[in-house]
Structure 1
Amino acid sequence: MQVILLENIKSLGKIGDIVKVKRGYARNYLIKFEKALNASKENIEIVNNKKAQLNKKDLVLKKEAKKNYETLNNKKYKIQKLVTENNDLYGSIKPTEIAKIIKEKDNIDVKPSQIDLEKEIKSIGTFKTTINLHSEIQAQILIEVEKSEEKKS
C-alpha cells in the first residue's frame, strides 16, 4: 500500500514522500495516528499544498526536541526497587515507568513508545536507554536501579 507521509519518520522518509508499506502498518499505525495519508491523487495534492505548513510544524517539534535533548542527554535517573536475594527485581522496569520518572523529575512528557530499552531491566545496576525525541534527535539516558530498603509484606 502506498502512503504519503505527513511527518518525518526515521525509517521511512520525510514529509511529502510517497512510500510503500504493508497494509496493516499503514492502517493500524500511520493513518490511524495521522502520520500518513493514503496516496490518492487528491491526498497528494492536499499534502503538496500543505507541505510548508507541515514543515513549520516539524521545525517547532524539532526545536522542542532539541531543548529536551539538552535536559535529558547523559542524565542519570535512579529507581529504587525491591529485589530478591539474587539481586533480581520482582518483575521488570518498563518504558511506562521510565516515562513517569522523567515527567516527575524534569517535567518532560515522553511517551513510552519513544523509549528504547537495549534489554529488559530485571536486575539492579546501570542501564543505557535511548529516547527518540524526534526522527532526527535521540537522547541517551542512564537508568540506575538500586535496592530498596523496604521489605515486601
Structure 2
Amino acid sequence: MEIILLERIEKLGGIGDVVTVKTGFARNFLLPNNKALRANDTNRKLFEANRGKIEADNAERRTDAEGRAKDIDGKQIVLIRQASNTGQLYGSVSVRDIVDALIEDGVAGVTKAMVELERPIKSLGLVDVKVKLHPEVAVTVGVNVARSPDEAEMQKQGIDVIQAMFEEEHAEAVATALEPDSEDEFDDATPPSEIAAEEAPADDAEEA
C-alpha cells in the first residue's frame, strides 16, 4: 500500500514522503495512529494544503521532546522481582511495567508505544531500553531488575549479583571441605589415657 508519511518513521522516511508498506502495517499501525495517509489524489492535495501546519506542529513537539530528554536520558529505574538463584525471574518485566515505573518516578507523558523492548525481560540485571519521546528524539533508560534494593544498588555499582553469590557459595564450600574432622584427629593420634595405660606395666616391672 502507498502512503504519505505525516511524521518521520524510522527506516521508512520523513514528513511528506510517499512510501510503499505492507497493507497490514498500514492498516493496523500507521493509519489508525495518524502517522500516515493513504496516497490517493484527495489525500495528496489535503497534505499539501496543510503541509506548513503539519511541519510546524512536528517541530514544536520535537522541541518539547528535546527539553524533556535532558531530564530522562540516562535515568535508571529499579524493579524488584522474585527470582531463582540462577537469576531467572518468576515471571517477566513488560513494557507496561517500565512505563508504570517511569511514571512513578515522575516521568509524565510516556506511553507503551514509546518504549522499544524487543522481548520481555526474564532475568536479573541491568538492561538499557530505548524510549522514543518523539519520532526524532530518543533517550536511553536503564532498567535495574533485582531481588532487593540492596542487590539493585550492587548492580548499579557494576557488581554481577549472581556471579558474586556463586563465588561466595564456592568459597564457603571450599572452607568447609578444608575444615579438620575431629574424629580423624583422634584416630591419627593415640589418646594420653591409652599411652599412660601402656606405660604403667613397664614402670611396675622396674620397681619389682
Is 134-143 or 78-87 further displaced after alignment? 78-87
Deviation per CA, 1:19-65, whole angstroms, max 9, x where unpaired? 11111211221112111111111110110110111011111211121
* Percentage of identical aligned residues: 30
Equivalent residue of 1:46, what SS? helix
| 2:95–2:120 contact (8 Å) kept in structure 1 | no
Q: Indicate the structure with greater strand content.
A: 1
Is 95-104 or 105-114 further displaced after alignment? 105-114
Deviation per CA, 1:47-100, whole angstroms, max 9, x where unpaired? 011011101111121112112211111111111111223332111101111011
Distance 1:4 1:28 in 2: 15
Q: Per-residue deviation at 1:122?
A: 1.4
Q: Corresponding residue for 1:109?
A: 109
Two-structure CA RMSD over aligned residues (Å): 1.7
Kindly tell me the number of residue pairs found equivalent between the two proteins: 149
Structure 1 outlier segments of 4+, above 6 Å: none
| 1:102–1:109 contact (8 Å) kept in structure 2 | no
Structure 1 residue runs of 5 or longer lacking an equivalent are none
Distance 2:28 2:123 in 1: 34
Matches within 5 A, 1:4-23: 4-23=4-23
Greater RCO (Cα-Cα under 8 Å, separation 6 or more): 1
Distance 2:44 2:107 in 1: 38
Q: TM-score, normalised by structure 2?
A: 0.67
Q: Corresponding residue for 1:64?
A: 64
Return the letter of the residue paired with 1:144: N
Matches within 5 A, 1:50-129: 50-117=50-117, 120-129=120-129
Structure 2 residue runs of 5 or longer lacking an equivalent are 150-208
Distance 1:54 1:134 in 2: 14
| 2:7–2:135 contact (8 Å) kept in structure 1 | no
Greater Rg over alpha carbons, structure: 2
